[in-house]
Amino acid sequence: MPQIKNLNIDSITHLETPKQFTDRLPLTAERAATVTRGRKEILDVVTGKDDRLLLIVGPCSIHDPKAGLEYAGRLKELADEVKDTVLVVMRVYFEKPRTTVGWKGLINDPHLDGTFDVANGLTTAREFLLQVLELGLPTATEWLDPITPQYLADTVCWGAIGARTVESQTHRQLASGMSMPIGFKNGTGGSIQIAVDAMTAAREPHVFLSVEDDGVVSIVKTNGNEGGHIVLRGGSSGPNYDPTAVARATGLLKAAGFESHLVIDCSHANSGKDHRRQPVVFRDILSQRTGGNDNIAGMMLESHLHGGSQKAGDDLSKLEYGVSITDACVDWDTTASLVREARTALAKTAEALA
Q: From the CB of residue 293, how many other CB atoms can be counted at a distance below 10 Å?
A: 15
Residue 233 class from Cβ within 10 Å (0-12 exposed, 13-18 middle, 19+ buried)? Answer: buried
Q: If you write DSSP's letter for every residue of 207-251 in order, what string do you get?
A: EEEEE-TTS-EEEEE----TTEEEEE--BTTB---SHHHHHHHHH
What's the pLDDT at 8? Answer: 94
Strand 207-211 versus strand 217-221 pairing type: antiparallel
- Provide the pLDDT for residue 83: 98
- Return the pLDDT at 102: 83
Count Cβ atoms below 10 Å from residue 157 Cβ, excluding itself.
28
Calpha distance 234→227 (Å, rounded): 22
Instruction: Answer yes or no: are the C-beta atoms of 241 and 289 closer than 8 Å.
Output: no
User: What per-residue confidence (pLDDT) applies to 2?
Assistant: 84
Fold adopted by 18-308+316-353: TIM Barrel (3.20.20)
Do 332 and 73 contact (CB within 8 A), yes or no? no
Return the pLDDT at 80: 98
pLDDT value at residue 353: 83
Cα within 13 Å of Cα(219), Cβ side: 1
* pLDDT attached to residue 99: 72
CA–CA distance, 341 with 39 (Å, rounded to integer): 25
Cβ–Cβ under 8 Å, residues 139 and 90? yes
pLDDT for residue 154: 98
Condensed to tens digits (0 to 9), the pLDDT of residues 302-329 reads 999 999 999 998 899 999 999 999 999 9
Q: Which residues of the chain have pLDDT under 50?
A: none
pLDDT (0 to 100) of residue 313: 84
Taking alpha carbons only, the member of 248, 264, 253 closest to residue 299 is 264
What's the pLDDT score for residue 130? 98
CA separation for the pair 50, 42 (Å, rounded): 9
* pLDDT on residue 309: 97
What sign has the CA pseudo-torsion 238, 240, 242, 245?
A: positive
- Please tell me the predicted confidence (pLDDT) of residue 233: 98
Assign 3-state DSSP to the chain and report helix, strand, coil percentages, each to 5. 40, 15, 45
Q: What is the pLDDT of residues 138-170, one digit of tens each?
A: 999 999 999 999 999 999 999 999 999 999 999
Are 334 and 279 in contact, with CB atoms under 8 Å apart? Answer: yes
Strand partners, 182: 159, 228
DSSP calls for 140-166:
EEE--STTTHHHHGGG-SEEEE-TTTT
